[in-house]
Amino acid sequence: MPFDNGFGIPAPPFDTYYGATVSNIATAILFTITTFWVVFGLLDYRRTKSPVMLILAMSGFLCDFIEPYLDVMGGCLWATSPDLTLFTILGRPMSLFSLSAWAGFGASMTCIPFLMIRKVIQERKPTSWLWLTFIIAGLVDVGFEEIMLNMHGLYVYYGNQPLILLNKFPWYYTTLNGGGLFLAAALAYRYRTQLPGWKSLLILLLVPMCEGANYGFTAMPAWIVVNGQYGWLTTQAGGLLTVLLCFAVMAGTFQLVLQRNPLALKASSTLQEDISVPLAREV
């Protein structure tokens, strides 16, 4: 693993091959996914008169502007052509593909939790449904990224990455990505009545802020080992600690934002057992 002599951290593989054809195909697919959620959000807006779902569907692309920070610390590099670079931050070029990746992934990973949160709260379903949503979303992320990482010419992870359990994808990223977007969906639901009309546009900023905040709170153990030369046990421990911190963020999201007891996995009928009653009575 080559190290940068000046900074003492793994050197980014800037010579990574850029696959124009595969990038264009992936970009088209991801923007199609984004369009699906935007249309779904429009239909939801017509039915509920609330624009929150629609704004969530359009907000994922803004995470691309915090992506360079995640890439430098987390050992990720997006392959791109100099002619197709949209912007460069911290020396990292972002392309139309990276923008589409966050647009499609962000829309999916905020809209699905929002729908589940709404169902769980309004129909008083057990908290286990929320945990299951978070876990399934993580598994979907694994499949999503393993496919893209094996499409030569899109992006790579480098450095001393922990928790590579299948082929190329470090699994701790599932909780990092999903945790921040789930938090954004939870806050959007919690404050939806305070964000009518044009105020709902504030959700455009909420999504990248939550994603960046989750990374800032939980990613450091994994990023320390990514950027060092540690043994196998220490490397995996760093990844696992980040995963545990992400689950702590989720528990806090359920408790503080959604007023759900994260340990009460079954539906209950009394206020003492289920602290979600105040929100469950909302229409």
The answer to whether 97 and 26 have CB atoms below 8 angstroms apart is yes
Q: Give the pLDDT of residue 11.
A: 84
* CA atoms of 22 and 237, how far apart (whole Å): 35
pLDDT tens, residue by residue, 204-256: 999 999 999 999 999 999 999 999 999 999 999 999 999 999 999 999 999 99
Confidence class for position 51, pLDDT limits 50, 70, 90: very high
Give the chain's radius of gyration (CA, Å).
Answer: 19
- CB distance 223 to 72 below 8 Å: no
Rounded to the nearest integer, the mean pLDDT of the chain is 89
Residue 5 pLDDT = 64
Q: Is the pLDDT of residue 276 over 50?
A: no
Is the pLDDT at 275 greater than 80, yes or no?
no
For the chain, the structural domain boundaries read 20-280
Q: What is the mean pLDDT of residues 109-136?
A: 93
More reliable by pLDDT, 229 or 81: 229
Residue of 223, 152, 137 whose CA lies nearest to 182: 137
Q: What are the helix (H) ranges across the chain?
A: 20-48, 52-59, 67-74, 96-123, 128-149, 172-190, 203-218, 220-226, 232-252, 277-280
Give Cα 134 distance to the centre of its chain.
Answer: 11
pLDDT for 267 beyond 80: no
Q: pLDDT grade, residue 277 (50/70/90)? A: very low
- At residue 281, the pLDDT reads 44
**Lowest mean pLDDT across 83-87, 184-188, 241-245:** 83-87
Distance (Å, rounded) from C-alpha 195 to C-alpha 176?
27
Give the least confident one: 13-27, 28-42, 166-180. Answer: 13-27
The pLDDT tens digits for 123-180 are: 989 999 999 999 999 999 999 899 999 988 899 999 999 999 999 999 999 999 999 9
pTM: 0.89
Rounded mean pLDDT of 56-68?
Answer: 94
Phi and psi at 179, nearest 5°, equal: -65, -45
Q: What percent of the chain has pLDDT over 70?
A: 93
- What is the mean predicted confidence (pLDDT) over 1-11? 75
- Residue 131 has a CB neighbour count (10 Å cut-off) of 16
Could you count the other beta carbons within 10 Å of the beta carbon of residue 260?
25
